[in-house]
Structure 1
Amino acid sequence: MTLAKLPANMLDAIALLPKNIPVVLLTRHSIREVVNGQGLAGYDLQLTPDGVALAQAWGRHLAMQGVVFASASTSPIQRCVDTSRYMLLGAGKNTLPSLQQVCNPLLVEPGSFVLNIEKASPSFKQYGALGFVNAFLKEQVPGMKSVQVGVFDILTDLYQLTKQSEGMHLVVTHDTIMAVIYAHLSGVGALEKHHWPQMMEGMFLWFEGVEFLKSDLVWIWRGNVYRIAISKVFDKPQL
């Protein structure tokens, strides 16, 4: 399996990564089975053979570019766990000996943004993924955290990962979660279809500063490098 099915700009982003600074690769899982309808993609949907091969090839390519994986955190949903596992398999010896793959409840729903699935689920079924996220960005979905608090929780967790060791910290999650993070960081009030994260599409990010709230977040998305002060992202966090 070549990297032909890897989303555009992911390969180019490697040259933009810093040296000797811990980096997070926050990525959607690899290619999964197709879901019919516009509702929530079932938790039972698995990676396709192409998805398995792509994840392994991507991990191998990153290792060939000198990337050493320091940690791996995933949504507990099997397609995310498998994406991480096959990427690490592809990376081979380019992993720290202490690396253990762990499941993080902040990387799935309910967990990252959904507090009450019974209240939130009807909106997802009504609007579909894109419409649901746009309604959430406008704080129009019941049973949810605020957007700011949800993103704050996830980025705080990612910051703590980077304090563990140098290298790349692999974090595998879902499209809706990545879409909300992207929208909040970029200030996009309503997402369009072209904004939506593709399967195996990721965001490289790192922090510059000795304290989370006093640091700058630098992130690469679709070939562009962005920088923003955490204090501006979370002006008066609702904690």
Structure 2
Amino acid sequence: MSKLPDSNISKRQTDAAPVTKNPIAPAPAHLPDSMISSVSLLPTDKRLILFTRHSLRERSDGNGFASYQLPLTPKGRVLAQSWGRWLAGHLPYSLNVDSISSPIGRCIDTAQLMQEGAGLQRHIEHQSLLVEPGSLVTEPDIANPVFKEIGVLNFINRFLQGNLEGTKNAYQGGLDLLSLFYQNQPQQGHLMLAVSHDTLLSAFLAVMLDVIEIDWNDWPKMMEGVFLWFDDKPFEQASAYFVWRGEVYVRPINSLLEGYRLSGFHPNKLLLPPEVKWT
């Protein structure tokens, strides 16, 4: 990854004890190794969100273009269900909360199967910001041909570098997703699922980590995700905390807003949330 000169992201040492009820319990088959190492770093009693790529799906074409019609594989269905069961059985967090998901079938199925694994059947809200066009692409007629021509990794890097027509500013894409998560935070002690795609997750993480170029080593695997929570403060005053691949990070939201303004964009384009109050 290539760092920007002035980074507002910092690694954070967690002083919380590991949250797993049984940390030596075997992980579900085919689950990315990073997920269990991240679980061991989670704090307790937060409004936790798991922003995850969907489970194992059928193969895409050689340029990284995955049709929205591609379903989960049988192994992917088993993985999603077993991962939901593992989380419910080994975290001191309740998954008994509605989920949000891309409206694409493999993402909805992932959320539903994870709920089933946890012994639940909750509403799954379809969110347009968790699919494209949405968080990154604003003009698919312009952006889609470029995507097919240069491939997914080059597409994301050009997006991060502000060199791609038909898309949002990278800060705006990250802030719009943060706003979505902020507005949908569960109650304390609960874990909400947000299921999406590799392109959105990779771009979001790059913005949060303040980098302008990624490679295939940074690319999220299927059923790999980032755990996220916020300060209990108004959005613009809050910090976003997240655990990705066994590291804990904190990013002040005002640093993202400042980066967006310095890029020459007006805040009225952002999907900033209203004040959130919890009962």
Q: TM-score, normalised by structure 1?
A: 0.93
User: Structure 2 CA distance, aligned partners of 1:85 and 1:17?
Assistant: 24
Q: Is 1:78 the equivalent of 2:78? A: no
User: Structure 1 CA distance, aligned partners of 2:39 and 2:216?
Assistant: 25
Q: Is 1:87 the equivalent of 2:110? A: no
Query: Which residue of the partner structure matches residue 106 of structure 1?
Result: 129
User: Structure 1 CA distance, aligned partners of 2:216 and 2:46?
Assistant: 33
1:57 to 78, 82, 100: 82
> How far apart are 1:236 and its partner, in Å?
5.7
Query: Which residue of the partner structure matches residue 180 of structure 1?
Result: 203
Deviations 1:118-164 (A, max 9, x none): 100111011111010001111111111111111111101101111x5
C-alpha contact 2:27 2:86 (8 A) present in aligned 1: no
Query: Which residue of the partner structure matches residue 220 of structure 2?
Result: 197
User: Structure 2 CA distance, aligned partners of 1:236 and 1:185?
Assistant: 12
User: Structure 2 CA distance, aligned partners of 1:86 and 1:220?
Assistant: 23
Structure 1 regions of 5+ residues with no counterpart?
Answer: none
> How far apart are 1:39 and its partner, in Å?
4.6
Query: Which residue of the partner structure matches residue 23 of structure 2?
Result: none
User: Structure 2 CA distance, aligned partners of 1:2 and 1:224?
Assistant: 19
Supply the RMSD in Å over aligned alpha carbons: 1.6
Deviations 1:79-108 (A, max 9, x none): 000000000000015x7xxx4111000000
The code of the aligned residue for 1:197 comes to: P
SS of residue paired to 1:9? helix
Query: Which residue of the partner structure matches residue 170 of structure 1?
Result: 193
The code of the aligned residue for 1:20 comes to: D
Q: How many residues align?
A: 234
Query: Which residue of the partner structure matches residue 246 of structure 2?
Result: 223
Query: Which residue of the partner structure matches residue 176 of structure 2?
Result: 153
User: Structure 2 CA distance, aligned partners of 1:186 and 1:2?
Assistant: 27
2:39 to 14, 32, 50: 14
C-alpha contact 1:10 1:222 (8 A) present in aligned 2: yes
The code of the aligned residue for 2:78 comes to: A
The code of the aligned residue for 2:83 comes to: W
> How far apart are 1:67 and its partner, in Å?
2.8
> How far apart are 1:111 and its partner, in Å?
1.1
User: Structure 1 CA distance, aligned partners of 2:63 and 2:28?
Assistant: 28
C-alpha contact 1:2 1:54 (8 A) present in aligned 2: no
> How far apart are 1:21 and its partner, in Å?
1.1
C-alpha contact 1:21 1:206 (8 A) present in aligned 2: yes
User: Structure 1 CA distance, aligned partners of 2:187 and 2:130?
Assistant: 21
Structure 2 regions of 5+ residues with no counterpart?
Answer: 1-25, 268-279
The code of the aligned residue for 1:78 comes to: G
- The structure in which a higher percent of residues are helix is 1
> How far apart are 1:203 and its partner, in Å?
0.1
C-alpha contact 2:55 2:222 (8 A) present in aligned 1: yes
User: Structure 1 CA distance, aligned partners of 2:187 and 2:168?
Assistant: 30
